[in-house]
Amino acid sequence: SIFPVIIPAAGIGSRVAAATAKQYVSIGGKTILEHTVQIFLSHNQIGKIIVMLHPEDYTFTTLSIANHPQVMAVIGGCERVDSVLQGLRCIVNFQDPTQFVLVHDAARPCVNAQDITRLIERCTAIAPSDNVCGAILACPVTDTIKKAASTKISSGHSQHFSIIDNTIERSLLWHAQTPQMFRMNELIHAIETGLAKGTKLSDEASAMENCGKSVLLVEGPSSNIKITKPSDIALATFYLSAINK
Ligand code: CTP
Ligand code: MG
């Protein structure tokens, strides 16, 4: 089957702090958003691509992907979760809401087609008796993780330092990535429930978890980074040239 994908690209990229929003930073002559959309356009199990845009985005329409028949632009919201919800509310007007949808950050241009395929395979293989609602790409944590105490200590020159409270057991920790894949109606319900309760929802899986649902972790590569800080541009440039094409 063919699945739609929602690509949240309505952020301003404050941490990258480039001249444009980070999705419009160029890598190898193509914007980050074009790299990301291109991967999904080339994937034969992906149908409609709904790109969520900032209300004052005047760049998207200048890109050639804007005219592709599979690509649709929709205005996003204040937070990432609001953008995803707007996208979902739009797709259910023309797609079966009981079907799966993928959500993938515009800021993750280094995702591989094979990993998208594995995620789709795992989701479509879920049996009703599994009690699992969907899956996400994720990568096991390799660093030793420290939890800081809530109070900082003051040292000389009025500097404040965090101190370690304890070390978190790492063997069960994963970095959540995207794509994340769930059924449209279940995801809309989970996000609306979370927003009504005022819960912070930094990804789709967290909305499902808060509703008591089980989500599969599908191991993806550490190269599937989210461009977040200025140094991530160089890293993405390397991964895009070395891995993808
Ligand atoms: N995003 C979105 N709508 C928002 C905020 C974010 O669609 N209101 C998108 C971003 O464009 C990005 C993805 O969600 O592709 C992940 O968010 P993040 O990395 O936080 O991007 P920004 O919010 O743009 O960056 P920053 O938080 O540094 O400002
Ligand atoms: Mg953000």
The SS3 assignment for 12 reads: coil
Average per-residue pLDDT for the chain: 96
pLDDT tier for residue 116 given thresholds of 50, 70 and 90? very high
ipTM: 0.99
CB of 87 sitting under 6 A from ligand 1: no
Specify if 218 maps to a domain.
no
* Structural domain includes residue 87: yes
Domain count of the chain?
A: 1
- Ligand that lies nearest to the alpha carbon of residue 21, given by its number in the listed order: 1
Q: What is the mean pLDDT of residues 106-114?
A: 98
Q: How many CB atoms lie within 10 A of CB 111?
A: 26
Ligand 2 is an ion; residues with CB less than 5 A from it: 11
Q: How confident is the model at residue 244 (pLDDT cuts 50, 70, 90)?
A: low
Q: Is residue 16 part of a domain?
A: yes
CATH of the domain at 24: 3.90.550.10
Please name every residue paired with 218 in a beta bridge, in sequence order, or none if there are none. Answer: 137
Instruction: Report pLDDT for 130.
Output: 87
Question: Average of pLDDT values for 154-164?
Answer: 85
Supply 52's token pair. Answer: 């969520």
Asked whether residue 15 is domain-assigned, the answer is yes
Residue 151 lies in a domain: no
Q: Beta strand 145-148 with 164-168: parallel, antiparallel or unpaired?
A: antiparallel
Write out pLDDT tens, residues 178-217: 999 999 999 999 999 999 999 999 999 999 999 999 999 9
d(CA 162, CA 224): 30
The helix/strand/coil state of 135 is: strand
Burial label for 213, CB within 10 Å (0-12, 13-18, 19+), is middle
Cβ of 204 closer than 6 Å to ligand 1, yes or no, is no
pLDDT of 48 above 60: yes
Q: Which two tokens stand for residue 16?
A: 């990258």
CA distance 81 to 111: 21
Probe residue for ligand 1, chosen from 105, 175, 203 as the CB with the greatest number of ligand atoms within 8 Å: 105
Looking at the domain assignment, is residue 213 inside a domain? no
For range 174-179, the mean pLDDT: 98
User: Tokens 């004052």 correspond to what residue?
Assistant: 56
In a domain, 10, yes or no: yes
The token pair that represents 95 in the structure block: 């797609």
Q: Which of 134, 176, 11, 26 is nearest to 78 (CA)?
A: 11
Within a domain: residue 163?
A: no
pTM to 2 decimal places:
0.97
Domain that includes residue 121, residue range:
3-127+179-202+225-244
